[in-house]
Structure 1
């Protein structure tokens, strides 16, 4: 590497990179508490430097007047108490204001002020770290004491009292903003918990309700045909056993997802719809599946939403339109994927969601709509124009999931 006419050694860039990494690690290691302590220490050092500068400039060649060491002690007390301004703001204010007033009244030859820069720092800390009522009363008392001192001895400096009051207000304002931000964070966290609970409720409903409905129908069929047709009853019981095992397997996958991350279970995908429809047929639903367009991989969320929508619609058809023929259509277009389930039964009104205070109800159509909406899609459910009931979900696809033109 060459800078001007002077070449740097080959190890220079490496040393620079190491230095940058160390600096970055140092900044990362500074937690908020450590950064706060470092800022307080820097402020104390700054005040100490100003104090020592004043002392050095006023130190006489001959005998030292008593006022100088007394003022030095007062200044050192102010410097030291700044280090605890966050944890003991009232103590900080008391010591600094008392030292300022004492020095201003008793040591007029030294540059003390009733409301010095240290007092402004303490007033800000009182407004920022004390409860509102305590902060206001203590801050106003200190500002009032300084204002009285100015009014008696130096009315022209009354503007310093206004600056002190502004420091107190600034501290209160900063505290208000911090508390507002904390409340918003708590509200977001609570909303995330509520959303996760709704997600778990939908998953449990989708996994359990479908299989339990199928098992109920199969067991009922086996009971009614056991005497007249034992072979058919045995076949229904075998299907019930298989369905129960599948339900347990899906429950285990759901629990694994809840323990690990939010990835959907492997079998809840659009390309598993043929198996889902086949299980519905085995349970006595006259269902058929047609796929239109060119099938392609879907984003995980859309994949799961399509599967769950069809699963819930088949469950509803089995409950509310027993014996009806159900047509399932999975349609791939250039910009979206659509899932439609249409039964030719009575086509009555959609089952109304139960009130929120009745747990275990109302997660069917509402859960489908919420899941589809999370993918940016829309769900329509209601009586079909030609009779029966129809559920139709349309989910837009992101650009990376769209078919690519051949080149």
Structure 2
């Protein structure tokens, strides 16, 4: 509630003070016995109303004292209560009931006593009527302040409930996401882990038996053994990510680029690696994305390019990393756009998530090229 009050512009408060001051000054000018001290009391009481939201109790004390002085000296009638009514409203709105009651009793009692001292028998009834009228005004100001106080409290509670509901929805969404990650992790562990383990074990047994018999181990078998081991390592890293999303493990990066290219060569794909520029530390997300792009590109060459060779180029530039993989295999004509598959779509998603650019298209002289431009700055 305080924050809501602090955001209100003071123009309305200034206007209120000016209007009250003008009304009281006009009434004082029409009274022949008004003195400079009375005008000073009017000015002070009116000007203090500018701060009625920030210091209601202090404003109540000042306005009550000034208007009581003015009312007992000149007997201006009900208009003298205007600043006090505003202060009573503000004090009640802020929740200070005792100061409001004390100020109301002091003002009404003081003005009534001063008027009775000069009243005649004919004017007593008018005096009583005027006092009852002022009492009604004071009660109305207090009730209005209480209504405003409860309204602001209701708005504050509604805002807090909305914030709590939003936080609850976010927590529920995070909880559901965590449960889904755990479900996926269990499914991967129960299915892929077992299958890959069987492949790795069987390949290892076959290699062992071949060596034990003095036979030459087929290169494809060695590739299967190594690739299954790498798949197990990366699957474990993926399961760790799914089970704990707060800290993603490093996974594979360009530091394992040589191993990746060696596995591609072991499958019969001639591949070369060229690195240009000054090598620099890369953000973990960029490092992993670069590795995955090269991995997917080499896999595509092996599966779709026929008898081809591939060249991998890693270029370090100022604030940018260039990853380019070219092959000279079979490809669509240069005028035909490639049909995006899962691998190419995954590349685009990775690059787009990092704010980079991806170019994938047939080469004019035959073959295919994939070029990714990744930001090499810290993305956090």
TM-score by length of 1: 0.44
Which one has the largest radius of gyration?
A: 2
TM-score by length of 2: 0.47
